[in-house]
């Protein structure tokens, strides 16, 4: 694993080698680009035990990213999104550089992510881009009641990484751009582990980007693709893993419980790359989970409250609005909904509102079959589960 003292030289060597390949081995106008970055992040006071856990809050950040700048020669969807820059990146965040007050600590995080950048404003001497990153992180230091009791941020080695921000680039030469970036980074276990306070930190970095081809100053509008249909419906079924906060409160431990999901949506595609619709989402929890949950709530709330509540039911249903962003066979989607029916315990673990955000891929050669992965959350703040689904677009 890369450490702070050797991360920058290693990434610099990668930048030089990939840049040499792009210049010598790829076509002269190949739209590939490579970016090297280095900077600092700040542990924001978004969790109550921050000051008890650590006494310094600024940590080093470095990374490398390889991108592909779309042009008018690519999919006609590229024109609809303003010819974005797509790619993959590797990010290192050095939380081991912080000073900790006791035995509890965070470890360095290493993230592998995909990104999309869209130019908001370009002039001869600068460019301003919006960037969105989504991927997975690896974390070595997880919560342990004896060895890491204050690390209630992460109960899992595998994390969800989401980041967004702005990049300001200044051309230095025909192929090089210097830049400064501002990001807001979010980490969560997605309920793959518990506890799950996560991290929500700002970061800033300087960057150097090598472009094998100069970005065009002006971009043609392109030919917009014809959508297959103005209206479409989707049906899906899937499953996810959930860890229960009530179990944590009662025992200090959690068990991975399966939750099954199914539902559908009716959508209106008002632009080739945009559609909005109404969605219905339903969930089923196992009897074993409900029995265990009832035992825990008897210990926490007492028999009288549990008996007055009535039987625990494993079915819940909600309805909401779903938004799609389409790019060929890929679709990013987000749902904001409210529960219509739920009766699975005294706890307010899920609240009234729920959200789903994820990606879909239409299988090639199929008649509308798609696979999807999404993260379900509650109250715009608490991850509930990661789920995989299989569906059909009609």
State how far the Cα of 70 lies from the Cα of 52, in Å rounded to an integer.
48
Quick check: 41 pLDDT over 90? yes
**Contacts by residues 11-15 (CB-CB < 8 Å, ≥ 24 positions apart):** 11/36, 11/62, 11/63, 11/64, 12/36, 14/64, 15/64, 15/208, 15/210
How is domain 231-393 classified at the CATH fold level?
Porin (2.40.160)
Within the chain, which residue ranges are assigned CATH 2.40.160.20? 4-211, 231-393
Tens digits of residue pLDDT in 294-341 = 888 888 888 998 888 888 888 999 999 999 999 989 999 999 999 999
State how far the Cα of 26 lies from the Cα of 285, in Å rounded to an integer.
53
Tens digits of residue pLDDT in 133-186 = 999 999 999 999 999 999 999 999 999 999 999 999 999 988 899 999 999 999
Lookup: tokens for 302: 């007492």
Lookup: tokens for 194: 């518990």
Q: What is the largest CA-CA distance in the chain?
A: 76
Which value, to the nearest 10 degrees, does the dihedral of the CA atoms of residues 7, 12, 18, 22 take?
150
CATH-assigned architecture of domain 4-211: Beta Barrel (2.40)
State how far the Cα of 183 lies from the Cα of 336, in Å rounded to an integer.
25
How many Cβ atoms are within 10 Å of 311's Cβ, its own excluded? 8
State how far the Cα of 174 lies from the Cα of 214, in Å rounded to an integer.
7
pTM of the model: 0.85
Which value, to the nearest 10 degrees, does the dihedral of the CA atoms of residues 189, 190, 191, 192 take?
-70
Listed in sequence order, the residues at least 6 apart from 178 whose beta carbon sits closer than 8 Å to its beta carbon are 169, 170, 172, 206, 207, 208, 209
Higher pLDDT, residue 19 or 260: 260
Lookup: tokens for 315: 């079915």
When mean pLDDT is compared across 116-120, 221-225, 276-280, the lowest value belongs to 221-225
pLDDT band at 26 (very low <50, low <70, confident <90, very high): very low
For 204-249, give the DSSP string: EEEEEEEESSPPPSS----PPPPPS-SEEEEEEEEEEEE--HHHHH
């Amino acid at each position: 694993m890369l450490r702070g003292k050797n991360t920058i030289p290693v990434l610099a060597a990668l930048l030089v080698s990939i840049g040499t390949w792009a210049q010598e081995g790829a076509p002269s106008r190949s739209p590939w680009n490579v970016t090297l970055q280095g900077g600092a992040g700040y542990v924001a006071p978004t969790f109550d035990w921050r000051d008890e856990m650590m006494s310094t809050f600024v940590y080093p950040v470095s990374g490398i990213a390889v991108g592909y700048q779309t042009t008018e020669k690519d999919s006609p969807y590229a024109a609809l999104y303003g010819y974005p820059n797509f790619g993959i990146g590797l990010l290192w965040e050095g939380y081991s550089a912080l000073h900790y007050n006791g035995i509890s600590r965070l470890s360095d995080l290493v993230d592998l992510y995909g990104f999309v950048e869209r130019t908001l404003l370009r002039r001869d001497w600068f460019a301003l881009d919006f960037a969105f990153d989504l991927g997975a992180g690896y974390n070595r230091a997880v919560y342990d009641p004896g060895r890491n009791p204050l690390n209630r941020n992460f109960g899992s080695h595998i994390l969800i990484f989401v980041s967004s921000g702005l990049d300001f680039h200044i051309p230095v030469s025909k192929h090089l751009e210097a830049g400064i970036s501002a990001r807001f980074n979010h980490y969560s276990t997605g309920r793959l582990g518990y506890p799950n306070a996560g991290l929500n930190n700002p970061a800033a970095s300087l960057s150097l980007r090598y472009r094998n081809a100069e970005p065009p100053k002006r971009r043609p509008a392109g030919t917009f693709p014809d959508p297959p249909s103005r209206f479409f419906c989707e049906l899906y079924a899937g499953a996810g893993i959930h860890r229960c906060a009530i179990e944590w409160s009662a025992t200090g431990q959690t068990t991975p419980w399966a939750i099954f999901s199914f539902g559908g949506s009716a959508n209106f595609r008002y632009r080739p790359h945009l559609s909005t619709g109404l969605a219905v989402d339903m969930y089923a929890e196992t009897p074993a989970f409900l029995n265990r949950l009832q035992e825990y709530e008897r210990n926490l709330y007492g028999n009288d409250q549990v008996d007055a509540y009535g039987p625990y039911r494993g079915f819940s249903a909600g309805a909401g609005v779903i938004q799609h962003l389409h790019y060929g066979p890929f679709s990013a989607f987000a749902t904001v909904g409210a529960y219509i029916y739920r009766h699975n315990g005294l706890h307010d673990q899920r609240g009234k509102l729920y959200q789903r955000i994820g990606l879909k891929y239409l299988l090639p050669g199929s008649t509308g079959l798609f696979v999807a992965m999404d993260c379900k959350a509650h109250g715009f703040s608490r991850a509930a589960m990661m789920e995989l689904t299989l569906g059909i677009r009609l």
